[in-house]
Structure 1
């Protein structure tokens, strides 16, 4: 415990307090000896970084619980499913910096529930760089992250319906393996239709 506290730059008393608050997982016991490892040190450094960014211990505890019970990134991505999306590995500090005060336990729980975020050891993984960049850009424009995530939830339902429609059309006329080859065509149709829909919306408002 003394060695871990020294490496983390905190006192043993603070470390005991974090343990009591369940901010770090319990050590591995071997007889009367408690062994800590690099995962404990990474968690302590994350706690210190989040405290410096204005997060409270209660908020950090809720974040830790959310990520400890979050889905593994392998479950989210599917090891055998091809994807065009690029996952992004983040530390909790990176996530806090991207979304400033919007990285609340409630918003992160919603992102975990949507499957945008997964965990890989001490790292957080966002399933899509494009979605991460867009959502953080919207937050920088003053749109609350909660509203961005709710919009994502509603878009997900429409996207699932569009994917099913496209798959049905293809499978009526081509083998299943053509789905992957022809997916750019479906994406082009959706992008064009969304662009036209935005044009109609802007004309209506004008």
Structure 2
């Protein structure tokens, strides 16, 4: 062992196989199939780290859910060779303050699997990449928003499957784009059209003033809409309950 710190612990081949609950032969088979990264070598001794153990546990969890090794290999390939993370959203030049206040989160594939235990399937991964929640940067994944990531984690704890969360996220994204277009049209018509050519300072000042107003309007309208919708759902539920008791 190189250190007593479990976060930095290293394993010989037999030790890693025992910790992962598999045989040495299975571990070597996974290595041959490139499902597990190569170990660090000191002469003839192979040393594996915590990320190898996490990878093996991820493979085991996916196998328990009925995925084949071929499907798991495709999933890991998507992690490792997926779309490269581009520049973070934002405005450039004089309009450098983004409207969003989102903090991206970098995760290893194993960390993602641990956060969404049992929910990281090839289908959910593909949907997350397609909607833009996830992108791939080298060996890591980048989630576009800590707030959205935390919200998804909380919904899963309350029993909502990730596939349903992603489907809802796609609908919310479409409505959000429509709302953004409404405010963008106001900016185009009443701010940019009346600004002197090249007067970026005036435009920037106007946008800074409009940013909190737009957020306040959207938050208020969504809250009011939720009140109306939840009230209607509760009324329907109460009526059905009363009928069932009658």
Q: Same fold (TM over 0.5)?
A: yes
User: Match for 1:136 among 153, 170, 183?
Assistant: 153
Matched, 1:110 2:127: yes
Q: Distance in 1 between matches of 2:209 and 2:141?
A: 31
- CA shift, 1:134, in A, is 0.6
Contact 1:116 1:128 in 2 (8 A): yes
Q: Report the Cα offset of residue 64 of structure 1.
A: 0.8
Deviation at residue 93 of structure 1 after TM alignment: 2.3
In the alignment, structure 2 segments of 5+ residues that lack a partner are 1-9, 18-22, 39-47, 93-97, 193-202, 236-246
Asked if the contact 2:83/2:137 (under 8 Å) is kept, the reply is: no
Distance 2:82 2:88 in 1: 14
C-alpha distance in structure 2 between counterparts of 1:12 and 1:5, whole Å: 12
- Structure 1 pair 65–147 and aligned structure 2 pair: CA distance change class (3 A): same
User: For 2:79, which of 67, 72, 77 is the aligned residue?
Assistant: 67
SS of the aligned residue for 2:160 comes to coil
Show the counterpart of 1:145.
162
The CA deviation string for residues 18-72 of structure 1, in whole angstroms up to 9 with x for no partner, is 354242579xxxxxxxxxxxxx9786444224246x2327253232122234221
Cα distance in 2 between the residues matched to 1:79 and 1:204: 38
CA contact (8 A) 1:118 1:124 kept: yes
The separation in 2 between residues aligned to 1:115 and 1:72, in whole angstroms, is 12
Shift of 1:90: 1.4
Which structure's CA Rg is the greater one?
Answer: 2
Are 2:88 and 1:77 aligned? yes
For these two proteins, the number of residue pairs brought into alignment is: 190
Which of 1 and 2 has higher RCO (CA within 8 Å, sep 6+)?
Answer: 1
- 2:29 is aligned to 17
Task: Sort the Cα spacing of 1:158 and 1:198 in 2 relative to 1 into closer, same or farther, 3 A.
Answer: same
Unaligned runs of 5+ in 1: 27-39
Note if contact 1:43-1:122 (Cα within 8 Å) is conserved in structure 2. Answer: no
**1:144 & 1:16 partners in 2: Cα distance?**
34
| CA deviations over 1:54-111 (Å, ceiling 9, x no partner) | 23272532321222342212x2625765342100111222212221111112111110
- Root mean square deviation, CA, Å: 3.2
Structure-2 separation of matches of 1:117 and 1:87: 10
Task: Indicate yes or no: 2:217 matched with 1:189.
Answer: yes
Normalised to the residue count of structure 2, the TM-score between the two structures is: 0.65
- Name the SS of the counterpart of 2:159 in structure 1: coil
Tell me if the contact between 1:89 and 1:124 (Cα under 8 Å) persists in the aligned partners.
yes
Contact 2:105 2:146 in 1 (8 A): yes
1:159 to partner: Cα distance: 0.7
User: What's the TM-score, normalizing by structure 1?
Assistant: 0.76
